[in-house]
Amino acid sequence: MIERKENCPLHDRNTFGMKVKCRLLLELDSPQDLLSLDMESLPKPVFVMGGGSNLLFLGDFPGTVIHPSFKSLSIQESPSGYPEGTVLVKVGAGIVFDDFCGWAADKGLWGAENLSLIPGEAGASAVQNIGAYGVEAKDIIETVHVFDKNTRTFSDIPCGECAYGYRTSNFKTVWKGRFIVTAVTFRLSRVPAPKLDYGGVRSALAERYPSEEELTPSMIRETVISIRRKKLPDPSETGSAGSFFCNPVISREHFLSILEKERAEKGADYMVPHYDVGDMVKVPAAWMIEQCGFKGVRHGGAQVYPKQPLVIVNSTGDALPSEILELERRVISSVNERYGIVLHPEVEHVGSVPSET
């Protein structure tokens, strides 16, 4: 069934809480609905949306927003050709991703626990290649089930064909706008495979469970949730779209020149936080934003989140898209001036800023 809503307010449907509307919202509850949709007749542009947790709407959206709200879930135990203990779970695109993580942990299935509490829906997890605490969606995606808007057919895309990278995939690049994800098959396991070496999970786990109990996915899930709650704004209280900027990857020479300048200012022992990525170096954008003095800085209702400067929040609940954009531009320009690095937003900007009349 397709539910149609004209001039539909979106502020409850985007975690930034932007008070915008779309001309038409279509709520689809079955993949078969896609076959009965005449895409050509819909107000343009057409945008597919999940939980709206990685989006910045720049103004009222003049076209159609399609929300695939598919909620089916099916399980295949011990599929042949897979290692012992494997369980394949096909998750409808509209299932809240964290509900899936909670379900898997309750069932004692390993694989999704480190991704707990990431907002959004299962469909988008395969578009975005969401990641946290040393795990990315691609590590557990087996197949992405899609509807091709061009050919009006359903097909299954193996994980290996999606060109997954850091928060990216073919769905965000060469296939942009072509596919609607209808479901994602995740590969979980009954065989324990805890991943504890990232973001303080191991120490937080030891604090939470001091006796040496046998680890379960639920223990890791609860630990990850407690770490995230301390650091990140809860979208039900403070609007945001999570990390606003991608962490830049720069050449080693560039990194060394930054290190030299910082040491001249802060002392010879100072170390710029970084991670080696092959021959290149990843420098946390949050560190650069903080060094540029932006931690907690407000611009109208927008604010660089004091606990995590990588996040821009709608601190008053009434921030305008233009205020978020202006703060974004100020951050980009300061970081570029100081470090010669142009930060790129991770948050997708949707639509355009209304022109002043």
Ligand X SMILES: Cc1cc2nc3c(=O)[nH]c(=O)nc-3n(C[C@H](O)[C@H](O)[C@H](O)COP(=O)(O)OP(=O)(O)OC[C@H]3O[C@@H](n4cnc5c(N)ncnc54)[C@H](O)[C@@H]3O)c2cc1C
The set of catalytic residues is 167, 243, 346
Interaction between residue 123 and ligand X (CB under 6 A)? yes
Work out the number of other CB atoms within 10 angstroms of the CB of residue 103: 15
Binds ligand X (CB under 6 A): choice among 24, 241, 292, 304:
241
Task: Candidates 20-28, 204-212, 231-239, 333-341: pick the segment binding ligand X (CB under 6 A).
Answer: 231-239
- Min dist CB 256 to ligand X, Å, is 29
Structural contact between residues 23 and 64, judged by C-beta atoms closer than 8 angstroms: yes
Q: What residues between 300 and 319 interact with ligand X by CB under 6 A?
A: none
Q: Residue 25 phi/psi, 5° resolution?
A: -115, 130
Q: Which long-range contacts (CB under 8 A, 24 or more apart) does 19-22 make?
A: 19/318, 20/57, 20/59, 20/60, 20/61, 20/321, 20/351, 21/60, 21/61, 22/47, 22/60, 22/61, 22/62, 22/63, 22/64, 22/65
Q: What strand order describes the sheet that includes 298-299?
A: 239-243, 311-314, 302-304, 298-299
Binds ligand X (CB under 6 A): choice among 17, 31, 51, 92:
51
Task: Candidates 18-26, 53-61, 98-106, 217-225: pick the segment binding ligand X (CB under 6 A).
Answer: 53-61
Interaction between residue 118 and ligand X (CB under 6 A)? yes
- Min dist CB 127 to ligand X, Å, is 4
In whole angstroms, give the CA distance from residue 239 to residue 316.
9
Considering the complex, state which of residue 82 and residue 175 has its C-beta at the smaller distance from ligand X: 175
In whole angstroms, give the CA distance from residue 152 to residue 137.
26
Interaction between residue 240 and ligand X (CB under 6 A)? yes
In whole angstroms, give the CA distance from residue 321 to residue 314.
9
- Min dist CB 79 to ligand X, Å, is 24
Interaction between residue 68 and ligand X (CB under 6 A)? yes
Interaction between residue 130 and ligand X (CB under 6 A)? yes
- Min dist CB 278 to ligand X, Å, is 21
Interaction between residue 127 and ligand X (CB under 6 A)? yes
For residue 9, the cross-strand partners are 21
Interaction between residue 22 and ligand X (CB under 6 A)? no
In whole angstroms, give the CA distance from residue 173 to residue 163.
10
Q: What residues between 318 and 357 interact with ligand X by CB under 6 A?
A: 348
Task: Candidates 46-54, 156-164, 194-202, 329-337: pick the segment binding ligand X (CB under 6 A).
Answer: 46-54
Q: What is the token pair recorded at 268?
A: 């010879």
Binds ligand X (CB under 6 A): choice among 52, 111, 321, 345:
52
Judged on CB neighbours under 10 Å (0-12, 13-18, 19+), 59 is: middle
- Which pairing describes strands 298-299 and 302-304: parallel, antiparallel, or unpaired? antiparallel
User: Which of 204, 226, 92 shows the shortest CA–CA distance to 147?
Assistant: 92
Task: Candidates 76-84, 117-125, 283-291, 302-310: pick the segment binding ligand X (CB under 6 A).
Answer: 117-125
Considering the complex, state which of residue 99 and residue 348 has its C-beta at the smaller distance from ligand X: 348
Considering the complex, state which of residue 131 and residue 351 has its C-beta at the smaller distance from ligand X: 131
Structural contact between residues 58 and 349, judged by C-beta atoms closer than 8 angstroms: yes
For residue 240, the cross-strand partners are 313
Binds ligand X (CB under 6 A): choice among 33, 98, 113, 121:
121
Interaction between residue 15 and ligand X (CB under 6 A)? yes
Considering the complex, state which of residue 119 and residue 321 has its C-beta at the smaller distance from ligand X: 119
- Min dist CB 235 to ligand X, Å, is 5
Q: What is the token pair recorded at 288?
A: 């650069």
Q: Which residues bind ligand X (CB under 6 A)?
A: 15, 47-55, 68, 93, 118-121, 123-125, 127-128, 130-132, 167, 180-181, 232-233, 235, 240-242, 348
